[in-house]
Amino acid sequence: MRGTWKLKLRMWLTMIIMFTIVYFLVMLAGMYIGISSWSFFMIASLVIVFLQYWFGPSLVKRSMNVRPLSEAEAPNIHQMVEELAQAAGVPKPEVCISEINIPNAFAYGRSSRSGHIAITRPILGLLDRDELKAVLGHEMGHIKHNDMIVTSAVSVIPMICYYIALSFMFSGDRDNGLTIIIGIVGYLFYLIGQLLVLFISRTREYYADEASVEFGNRPAALVSALYKLSYGAARCDKQTIDDLNTNRAFFVNDINNAKHDIHDFQQIDFDGDGRISDEELRRLANSDVKISRKNGAMELLSTHPDSLKRVKRLAELEN
């Protein structure tokens, strides 16, 4: 299994770029109100990032309607999480259930020592044991890599840029050229920040997939789970998807692309039974996968990798 140094390097670079964006915007806003102290800009930028880091888990818990899942309620799930934590070499995360109406799972927390793994109620009964453990292994990978910290810290920055842009572009002080400049720059940084958040989100998914396999799960079990979760998301009404849109980066798959992903999975579901077997995945490992320009463009705007590229990488891990 390859190391995670590339993942860590990309995350650190993303953090540095995002912090620079916040610092620059705070500096412009400070100049507008007559503050020119670089120490003020630095402290204000650090405070913004720290507040998101500190309160991020609480915001996720509230927005996803999460509560603890006791061992008495789900002893089999606790056992799987315990086995995966031992394989990952991290403390057992708190096991939770999310009362939202879409089958999926996610991890959140401030570090690998305070991690939480949550499953949504509809996932129960949809996946078999191997598939569910593979999904939990994927989430354990996020916890082991501590990448949910970066996701929580950087995801707020584009929104800060967006609100700064709106505030200055529609401030009513149109005679002041600086307000227009700050508004335009803020919106450009919002777009750049969004693309960076999506990029780091896609990168961490690849490493979490590999971690699940490293923890003893079959690649085919994880692919089958992704296939079924795509079907589950496709059955949900549009309002449910829209309500969870801002949190979709936390999920195992991108719920916005569910119907497109189903089409991709059907191409490798050679017997049409709604799951991916070890043999089907091995056949994919020995074949070429070409991603169309359209799919490549869609991937740039997605929180998760293109499903065929993702499955191809998992196929290469199939023994």
Distances (CA, A) of 33 to 27, 168, 176, 179: 10, 12, 12, 11
Q: Which residue has the tokens 């916040």?
A: 22
Distance CA 98, CA 61 (A): 8
Helix (H) or strand (E) holding 105: strand 105-108
Say which of 131, 139, 214, 299 is annotated catalytic.
Answer: 139
Q: Choose among 9, 1, 48, 38: nearest CA to 215.
A: 1
Identify whether the C-beta of residue 64 lies closer than 8 Å to the C-beta of residue 101.
no
Distance CA 21, CA 255 (A): 29
Backbone angles phi and psi of 288, in degrees to 5: -85, 140
Distance CA 34, CA 39 (A): 14
SS3 of residue 115 by DSSP: coil
The pair of structure tokens assigned to 295 is 């799919």
CA 266 to chain centroid, in Å, comes to 24
Distance CA 127, CA 225 (A): 6
139 is catalytic: yes
Identify whether the C-beta of residue 85 lies closer than 8 Å to the C-beta of residue 117.
no
SS3 of residue 133 by DSSP: helix
Q: Which residues are known catalytic residues? A: 139
